Structure formats: C-alpha cells, structure tokens
A and B are shown apart, each in its own frame.
Chain A
Amino acid sequence: MGYVFDYSWIGEYSGVLLKGLWLTVWLILVGATFGVALGIFCAWVRALGPKWARPIVGAYVELIRNTPFLIQLFFIFFGLPSLGVQMGETQAALLAMIINLGAYGCEIVRAGIQATTKGQFEAGWSLGLSRIETFRHVVLIPALQRIWPALSSQIVIVMLGSAVVSQIAAEDISYAADFIQSRTFRAFETYIVATLIYLALAILLRQLLKGVGWVLFPKRSAAR
C-alpha cells in the first residue's frame, strides 16, 4: 500500500461542498414537509375518503412504490419536456422526492389510521365533532404518534436516496463529491468526506424528527 492520503483539496473545494450540503438540506426539509402532507392526504383518501378516489390514490401508490426513484426522476426531468412540461433540475428533484415520499408516507400513515378502533371514531362523533374534526383530533394525531418512528425512517431513507439527484446535475452533496473527484482524482478522500457528511446529516435529521415528535405528541411522549 503506497497510497498517500491527501486532503489538501478540502480548502479549495469547501465552497462546492457547502453549496451541495445546502441543497440536500433544503431538498429534504421542503420535500419532507410536502411529502408527509401528501402522504397524510392520500392516507385519508385511501382509508376514509370518497369511494371513487380510492382506486386513483391506490394506483399512484402502487406505481411509485414499485418503480425505482431514479427512473421517476429521469421521467420528470428528461421525459416530461416531451409533453411540454419543462422544469429545472432542482424543481424536478424536489417534485420527485415529494411524489416518492407521498406514496410511501401514505401507506405508513394508513397503517396508523387503520389501527384506530371504530370506538374512537364513534366517541368523536358522539362528542359532536364533525368527520373532519374527528379525523384531525381523534384519529390522525394518535395514528401519527404510532407510526412516527417508521415515518422518520422513511424520511431519512428519502434523504439518503436524494443522492441520485446528482444524475440530473442538481448540485447536492453527491454532485459536489463527484465534481471534486473528477478534478482531484482523490476518490477515497472525496467519498469518505461525503460519507461523513451524509452520516452526520442523517443523525441530525433523526434527532430533529424526534424533536418534532415531542412537539406534536407532548402528552403521550413520556410513554415512549
């Protein structure tokens, strides 16, 4: 092993890395917010929504969960322009992440909703709450609390999976790493740095989601 490690490039390329870090953070924060919202909406439709809408949401969920994220991304970025839908790589990356997380989130949240006993709905209605109010206060919050760890994991998976958006030249952490590697030819050093950044980001994201859990479910979190 005559390999000499060389990290002297970090100074020169720290701007590229920071820019990449910022895009990944932005993508996951915005993507997770809208993705989870979409997931909750779809879960509501599938579990309790109008009968005619259920197969449509079901088809969307099956389509997204049974195709690779990379292909979905390429379809949005390279394919849709043929139909006149043109968007930049950042928008395409964000949209792909929202659509992807929406489908997975839907199934996770639905599991939580369906675990709610019928008696709980009836209790809500008997208190004079409307269907929406019952869903919001009596069903959704306990359901989310039940599945919060699973949903958190899914969000972290989407964040890590977002590495492929570099394939459409969205300038995230992976793009920065590939870029630096193509200039310095220091593959080991570049990718170990990228790995550490992703690792730190994933740990921070989990802590953040745990914190969100505490805020969303204050009374019950002591039980966990």
Chain B
Amino acid sequence: MPFLTRRAVVAAFAALAAVMVGAPHSARAELADITTRGTLRVAVPQDFPPFGSVGLDMTPQGYDIDVAKLIAEKLGVKIELTPVTSANRIPFLQTNKVDLVISSLGKNPDREKVIDFSTAYAPFFNGVFAPDNVAVTKVEDLSGKTVGVTRGSVEDLELTKIIPADATVKRYDNNNGTISAFLSGQVQVVATGNVVAAAIIEKNPPKKPLLKFLIKNSPCFVGMNKDQPNLKAKVDEIIAAAKADGTMNAIAQKWLKTDLPKDL
C-alpha cells in the first residue's frame, strides 16, 4: 500500500481527533442558528403510540409530532423529523443530529447532567383508574376492592407497596389481559399508565376508566443541549402560550382523549 504513508496516517488521526473534540463544541444550534437555517430538526418516537407512530400513509403522527410541528410553526421555520428509539434519542441530541428531542422524554437527575429540559408539555403517569360510579379518591379507598394490574410493571411494584392489606390485586400477564379484565368487569379498578387508559377510552367502552389518583408522575419534557438559553426560553414560551390558549389541550384531547392536568 504505497499511498498509505505515515503522513497520511497522521493526517487521518488528526482529522479524526478534530471531529471527536470539535464537533459537539462547534455545532451547538442556538436559536439564531435554527432561524437562519430555516429548519428545526426534531427527534420523535416512531414506535410509541399515541406519542409517536407511523401512520397508514407512512408519515409520523402522534402527540410528540404535533408538538414538534407547533414549535416549528411558532418559530417560523420548516420541520425536519428524525425517528429515534428511546435508547438513542439523547445521543442524537448530543451529537447534534437534532436540535430538540420531543420523544416522551422524562426528566431525571442523570439526564439533567447532560441535557437541558423545557417545561412539561405532556402528561405521563401511572394511576388508578375506574368508572365514574366507583368511589375511590385515594389509596385507602381501595380497601376491599379488586384491582387489576399488569404483572411486573412499574404500577404493580409501586401499588403493591402502598395498597391496603384487605384489597385484592389481580395481576395479568400483559396490558391486554388487564384491559380485558377491566372491560369484562372482572375487576372494577385498574392501575395502569394514562396512555393505556386512553387506549381503552378510544374503544368507547360502556365503562370508562377515569383517573382516581396518581401513583407515579413523570411528565414529558422537550430535551435540548445545554447552554442554549435563547432556545430554551423560546421553547418554554411557546409551550406556555399553547397551554394558555388551549392548543396544547386540543393535542391532549386528540391523542390522549383527556384534558391536560391542571398542574402540568
């Protein structure tokens, strides 16, 4: 290999080193960069309905996609959607392939060390759900009742810790079993995620699972790279305005079939 001289090797390594050191540094997209570029690049889920999935016409759709479109529209730029998985959504942001992650992202201290978060834009929680006529407002009210839950889920583990001893917990293999048990009246009360409850309500059953109380709340935030105060302020402003004028509530109604929680 005559062309692979020592000088070429050194140059290649130097270039590689420059990319490794330089890329995250130079290419952070502040608000001004996005507006001059004219496109907003957003990472969205493609396998997590109703937040993000691929529709019959092969275009992404869902709560997160609607929020992404809303933010692009308010910024006056075009949108460029990048489908991501839950495992690679933060790396996509860190390597500057996208400007924002709107991918049902929850906030936790580990993530806060590496990226910034907007204010919350969507509810995501586990709770106890039951029809209107079941009088339950707190965990003590479950005493004597039968609650269906999906075995091994977060809500199973959390509820088991706090539920009264004389309540019965029926654990099913998967969400489908839990939903069937609720719809067929085998259990009056279910503990599940708001997304699952929304999926039940969408089927228009005679008994609607309505939220009675929260087990664990972990709303969704827009993720962005650190040190972008203008972008963060602008995204927060757009979310706050959308909450105030009912736009965000319309998105929640469209995809989750419920109003936004007041405290979001």
Contacts and interface: CB of A to CB of B under 8 A. Distances in A.
Contact of A182 (B152, B180, B181, B184): B152
A89 B152 contact: no
Given A178-B151, A182-B152, A78 B186 contact: yes
Interface in A64-102: 77-79, 81-82, 86, 88-89
A77 B152 contact: no
B151 A77 contact: no
Contacts of A178: 151, 171, 173
B261 interface: no
A30 interface: no
Indicate the size class of the contact surface on chain B: 10 to 19
B172 interface: yes
A78 B181 contact: yes
Interface in A149-167: 166-167
Given A167-B177, A182-B151, A182-B152, A81 B171 contact: no
Nearest to B170: A169
B156 interface: yes
B185 interface: yes
B192 to A, nearest CB: 15
A44 interface: no
Contacts of A166: 173
Main secondary structure of the interface of A (DSSP, over half): helix
A219 B219 CA distance: 75
Given A179-B151, A182-B152, A182-B156, A169 B184 contact: no
A73 to B, nearest CB: 12
A179 B171 contact: yes
Interface in B98-156: 148, 151-152, 156
Contact of B172 (A82, A169, A181): A169
Interface in B174-217: 177, 180-181, 184-186
B152 A78 contact: no
A81 B157 CA distance: 29
B188 to A, nearest CB: 12
Contacts of B148: 169
B184 A167 contact: no
B173 A77 contact: no
A78 B179 CA distance: 10
Contacts of B180: 78
A178 B173 CA distance: 9
Contacts of A181: 152
A70 to B, nearest CB: 11
Nearest 4 interchain pairs by C-beta? A182-B152, A169-B170, A81-B184, A78-B180
Given A166-B173, A168-B181, A182-B171, 15 more contacts: A78-B180, A78-B181, A78-B184, A81-B186, A86-B186, A88-B186, A89-B170, A167-B172, A168-B177, A169-B171, A169-B181, A178-B173, A179-B171, A182-B151, A183-B152
Interface of B: 148, 151-152, 156-157, 170-173, 177, 180-181, 184-186
28 contacts: A77-B184, A77-B186, A78-B184, A78-B186, A79-B184, A81-B185, A81-B186, A86-B186, A88-B186, A89-B170, A166-B173, A167-B173, A167-B177, A168-B172, A168-B177, A168-B181, A169-B148, A169-B170, A169-B181, A175-B171, A178-B151, A179-B151, A179-B171, A181-B152, A182-B156, A182-B171, A183-B152, A183-B157
